[in-house]
Amino acid sequence: MNLVQEKLHQAADILREFDVDCWITFVRESQLNGDPVLDFLLASDVTWHTALIVSREGKTWAIVGKYDQASVEDLGAYGEVIGYVESIRPHLQEVIRRLQPRQIAVNYSKDSEICDGITHGMFLTLQEMLEEIGYGDRIISAEAVVSALRQRKTEAELDAIRRAIRATEEIFDEVRQFIRPGRTEKEIAEFMKQRVKERGLELAWDPAYCPGVFTGPAEAEAHYHPTDRQVQPGHVLNMDFGVKVDGYCSDLQRTFYVLEPGEDGPPPEVRRGFETIVAAIRKAKDAIRPGAKGVDIDRIAREHVVTAGYPEYPHALGHQVGRFSHDGTALLGPAWEKYASKPFQPLEAGMVFTIEPRLPVEGRGVVTIEEMVVVTEQGAEWLSTPQEELILIR
């Protein structure tokens, strides 16, 4: 079974679970303005208006422009592939009339960008086509359907993520020999990019910020690009880095300490910051289980950091990872408005999360570790090899 076939079967199961009759993904010019869920439903881009329909009984239709018909048929995933020349309208209306769905789930969501694939213009077009046949008022958000489909990783998906993590850890190992006083953040980033290139892999996010390299006292912030700032003895240096393997991402952070002349280990304040982060991650991981809520997991780590006397990290504790380095809906995050309902969605087996608290060590730099775990029925399992010691640079 290929990925699309796997995911279409999973989609029908999910429609029954949520008691939804029908799910439509509606796109055009997908290279220009795609829907994030298309990666699971097609193997190539489409040009004209395209409707991908799944019913709760597991029936599937792809209504596509004539020139896209052959490549969609080649997938062997859709029960019926309908190619049109003049207009998608009569074909779409015919399928819906046959299905008589009580609900038509469509990919829009205020809370979750990953489930918000339909553009407003396309929504208006679909609504008009459905109104003409009396189904305009049956549109509902497909957020729950798309979230579940995206979040519940299959074995094949987990395997790709594990391979991405392995490559990332190996490159972190290689770069420790390269880092030394005088090297700039840019040079270190360039070294890592070169390793990624040699392995024939892609970076997991925007090359301007992947890897992120931050050395010394906290002036620059995360998501800001590597600079000409030089590594200096006494600096805490951290990196945020990930690669993509077979379409799936890793996203890890590691913290390094640059020894001063005569030092054998980090000074007490750096060691204490590091141990606080390691403990916060472990506490959070131990609390993860299906049914738990991200807001509670975030609170455990956040309180640990604050109780130790550090400022709280100005972001969520962790996000999901999949085809994007930031993926999925459920979030290990605080109850801030911009996170909407994400921190309140119950965790499920098959979800992959980062855990990434951070704290500043005055005059030294930022200590931050990002690990990756998968939620199982028994709790969280490490996907990454957790960092338990500061990486010392001489």
Binding site for its own copies (CB under 8 A): 28-29, 31-36, 44-45, 47-49, 65-68, 70-71, 85-89, 106, 108-125, 128, 141, 205-206, 208-209, 220-225, 314-315, 324, 326, 336-338
Q: What is the C-alpha to C-alpha distance for residues 332 and 356, in angstroms, rounded to an integer?
A: 10
How buried is 279 (Cβ within 10 angstroms: 0-12 exposed, 13-18 middle, 19+ buried)? middle
In the bound state with its own copies, the residue whose beta carbon lies nearer, of 34 and 386, is 34
In the bound state with its own copies, the residue whose beta carbon lies nearer, of 120 and 155, is 120
Q: What is the C-alpha to C-alpha distance for residues 216 and 101, in angstroms, rounded to an integer?
A: 59
In the bound state with its own copies, the residue whose beta carbon lies nearer, of 141 and 376, is 141
Taking the complex as a whole, the smallest distance from the CB of residue 225 to its own copies amounts, in Å, to 7
What phi and psi values does residue 37 have, to the nearest 5 degrees?
Answer: -80, -10
Entry field: residues in the chain: 394
Q: Provide the sign of the torsion angle of the four alpha carbons 171, 172, 176, 178, taken in this order.
A: positive
How buried is 87 (Cβ within 10 angstroms: 0-12 exposed, 13-18 middle, 19+ buried)? exposed
In the bound state with its own copies, the residue whose beta carbon lies nearer, of 221 and 389, is 221
Q: What is the C-alpha to C-alpha distance for residues 313 and 167, in angstroms, rounded to an integer?
A: 28
In the bound state with its own copies, the residue whose beta carbon lies nearer, of 50 and 266, is 50
Taking the complex as a whole, the smallest distance from the CB of residue 171 to its own copies amounts, in Å, to 22
Taking the complex as a whole, the smallest distance from the CB of residue 389 to its own copies amounts, in Å, to 28
Could you tell me which of 216, 236, 250, 240 has the C-alpha nearest to residue 326?
Answer: 250
Taking the complex as a whole, the smallest distance from the CB of residue 278 to its own copies amounts, in Å, to 24
DSSP designation for 122: H
Taking the complex as a whole, the smallest distance from the CB of residue 68 to its own copies amounts, in Å, to 7
Taking the complex as a whole, the smallest distance from the CB of residue 258 to its own copies amounts, in Å, to 24
Three-state secondary structure call for residue 361:
strand
In the bound state with its own copies, the residue whose beta carbon lies nearer, of 18 and 209, is 209
